[in-house]
Structure 1
Amino acid sequence: MKVLIIEDEKPAARRLNRMLEHLDVGVDQMLHSVDEAIQWFKNNEHPDLIFLDIQLSDGLSFEIFDEVEIQSSIIFTTAYDEYALQAFKLNSIDYILKPIDEEELATAVKKYKMRQPKTQHVQFNFDDIKKLLTNPVEREYKKRFTTKIGQHIKMISVDEIECFYSENKGTYAHTVDGRDYLLDTTLEQLEDELEPQTFFRISRKYYININAIKDIISYTNSRLQLKLNSYKAQEVIVARERVRDFKLWLE
């Protein structure tokens, strides 16, 4: 089985790759943009299965299908549920909302394998699709973190946290009262734990709470600088490749 991942966020692509390895699914190629994918499909044998994000850095992945006829089976992996109907018009096996749950991923892979080699095209129950669009799956996100202070364990509510940041190989939470706490986690692990409408990863170093943003200022090289309510230790910069998604997140 030849497998391809198309995902613009490289950490997310690597995480999906690791999850697939746990399911004994080997990934042959990872691509990160619409243009890159179009060129790759024009010059390579198409895979059996594609794990496809929808909003890529240079456009929607549906644009790939406008340029190249693709018969591969597709499992969509996306943070947005509004594209489900459009996705199911393609050779879709499943539509998984981010953050990706391992059990959901395993179910989607199993569904693909069960349909081989008879057919790769799936018949969908459009009542289920409509239900997905009108009642998106509710996910549980972390409501608090703990940190050790001396002999004590302190609980920190996510509502108290302005931002998470990495420094000297540690991950810290900065709270609304101006305190910083070292956490036993990484920014990569936070991707699956934080409510995406409230927290956004603006760079390799920062996760930001939308309620903590006091001002947004144009910065050099098409970047943005954020002013937060209490965090003033360093400049908080939205990475250039994250600016577009950041603006969409604000809306």
Structure 2
Amino acid sequence: VALNCGALPESLVESELFGTERGAFTGAASSRPGLIESAAGGTCFFDEIGELPLSCQAKLLDVLESKSLRRVGGVGLRPVDVRFMAATHVDLERAAASGRFRSDLRYRLDVLRIELPPLRQQPAALPELVAALMAELGLAGPLAPGELERLAAYSWPGNIRELRNLLQRASVKQGPGPLRPSLLLEAATGPRTCPASPAEAGALSVEEIALRHMVEVAARSASRKQAATRLGIGESTLRRKLKQAARMGLTPS
């Protein structure tokens, strides 16, 4: 069972994870198990765990420690036999230091770590990824000459989701024939998608570069929904990132 922690409104995360008892709130006409209970005997996968609200982090830690949970509005504890996996693009150590993520939950989750470098650090993998995504999407047309080199020069803040979305949009907008997805990148963000010089790149952290790109895309989009679609992320995640960028003083160029 999978949950994208950044895709649900904060008010719904707790009931989706832990379930509800009848009468827990207005409209709760019957009891309902949450995603953790639904994964009994299997695996519960938390995507974007760094976006999980602090109010739910303490309750999740209790589940990990006690192997039991209490539904929203419930009294008794229910045993759960579930494996937990989590993924995030957030630096949880920094998030814990700033108070945005619980240190004890980070330690409890960090049993076996698998590091996946961002797409911008794996340009050699791009041809294979593009071929696999085009096969998955049922795209027959090849890429136009020089496209792989142009795509490899892009910073990919949305990683593989953004690449998949870009290929899909290119196939819809450009029709049959060789695809030129890089044209859509330039239309959305302008031709300059990376810092102009090594000195400028060194002055910004990876997180700041990604946030600056999101700000630029949002400024050039007709709506937040359109910007989130272009970036390959959820609208709620984009809203949080834009607020973070505003606090850091990052504005469109």
Higher strand share: 1
With structure 2 as the length reference, what TM-score do the two structures score? 0.38
Higher helix share: 2
With structure 1 as the length reference, what TM-score do the two structures score? 0.38
Instruction: Considering Cα pairs closer than 8 Å and 6+ residues apart, tell me whether 1 or 2 has the greater RCO.
Output: 2
